Amino acid sequence: MYIKPVYSLKIVLLWTRKYIYFFFLLSIIPVILYDVVGLKWLYLPWLPVGLIGTSLAFITGFKNNASYERLWEARKIYGGIVNASRLLATMVNDFITNEFTQLERSDDEFLKIKKTIIMRHIAWLTSLRHALRTNKPWETIVGNKSYKEHMGTLEIKEHKFSLQEELEGYLTEDEKEYILSMTNKQAACLNLQSKHFKKLKLEGLIDDFRHMEFKNLIGELFTLQGKVERIKNFPYPRQFATLNLFFVWIFMILLPFGMMHEFNEIGHSLARDENTNLINSLIAKNFVWMTVPISIVISWVFMLMERVGDVSENPFEGSRNDVPITTISRAIEIDIREIIGDDKNAIPKPYANNGDTEM
């Protein structure tokens, strides 16, 4: 996730430079045909073009609002995961005791039980973020060289290391083998967690009430998992995205045809002014060429709005605009391992950002 106040103009221009080149061609060709070749009939009234632009602004605004809502919902869900994880750690700390058991455990044995649960929870977080980083065919970063070059140059940990490598040290070999054999690996982690709580109940380390609270928390984690999976696996409706893109291009193609006659008329009005000097008169006669820079700027603004909506609608793909689930997961691991009193030397350090982003 990009964490500086604003993107630099250089980054934005590099990101959209190919569009700018194309906008130049779209605008200069009609002006050449109109002013140089002399096809003075080759223009459109500004009113219908302006109406299309006004309608497009509303449509693009709708898409950007929907895209932002997906991004913000994803961040709120991960905020819920943070809270549920801390609650799990405190419950593990306070609920698992010798109060109801006939065979008392030592503090070291309790720490081992607590750590097993917490490390399995971290395995769930790890499995979940690996699932969320899986590329989907509708995502922006897939096959987009320009996006990868300027906006997606981050090192994505889930693409660099396999899930099997990242689970090392968090699970037993049998548990890891079981989880990796499942289709939904994060659900398999919660299933193991549920079975463990049942075992603790049978051993008398937790009573019925505490077991039910643990089960409720497992249910909450399943709910949060389902919410992020819904966002990941269900894209912003393609019909809306497709129509919006088509309308943007229709408007940008028609834009210079609607502007060049207007600028030409303004130039003729200036040229007829008796107070206009020679230099200004020459400028006025060629005022139609103002169509080119103005068309480029307007087209660039609308395309930039379209692209911003695109890069916001998939909040887990691993770009600079996404929810930093890797960083959040590491922060959760640090918090919950500290809560149960794990060895501070064994607890990993927070991920360092690369100066302007965090993942």
Confidence of residue 38 (pLDDT cuts 50, 70, 90): confident
Integer Cα distance of 221 and 120 in angstroms:
13
Lowest mean pLDDT among 42-56, 152-166, 203-217, 224-238: 152-166
pLDDT of 3 above 60: yes
| Mean pLDDT for the stretch of residues 56-60 | 89
Q: How many CB atoms lie within 10 A of CB 37?
A: 9
Note the pLDDT of residue 265. Answer: 81
CA geometry: angle at 210 spanning 207 and 216, to 5°? Answer: 140
Note the pLDDT of residue 152. Answer: 47
pLDDT of 209 above 50: yes
pLDDT of 276 above 60: no
Confidence of residue 279 (pLDDT cuts 50, 70, 90): low
Confidence of residue 151 (pLDDT cuts 50, 70, 90): very low
| Mean pLDDT for the stretch of residues 218-228 | 97
DSSP string, 3-26: -SSS--HHHHHHHHHHHHHHHHHH
- Our measurement of the distance from residue 27's CA atom to the centroid of its chain's CA atoms, rounded to an integer in Å, reads 33
Note the pLDDT of residue 273. Answer: 59
| Mean pLDDT for the stretch of residues 107-132 | 95
pLDDT of 13 above 60: yes
| Mean pLDDT for the stretch of residues 277-293 | 71
Integer Cα distance of 48 and 43 in angstroms:
12
pTM of the full predicted structure? 0.87
Integer Cα distance of 321 and 121 in angstroms:
27
What is the amino acid identity at position 20?
Answer: I
Instruction: Report yes or no: 161 and 126 within 8 Å, Cβ to Cβ.
Output: no
DSSP string, 327-358: HHHHHHHHHHHHHTT--TTTSPPPPPP-SSB-
Torsion angle, alpha carbons of 106, 108, 111, 115, to 10:
-130
**What is the enclosing helix (H) or strand (E) of 1?**
none
Integer Cα distance of 150 and 336 in angstroms:
36
Integer Cα distance of 13 and 296 in angstroms:
13
Integer Cα distance of 194 and 326 in angstroms:
25
Confidence of residue 150 (pLDDT cuts 50, 70, 90): very low
Lowest mean pLDDT among 8-12, 123-127, 251-255, 258-262: 8-12
Lowest mean pLDDT among 66-70, 198-202, 249-253, 353-357: 353-357
Integer Cα distance of 227 and 239 in angstroms:
23
Tokens at 354, concatenated: 């690369």
What is the amino acid identity at position 287?
Answer: F
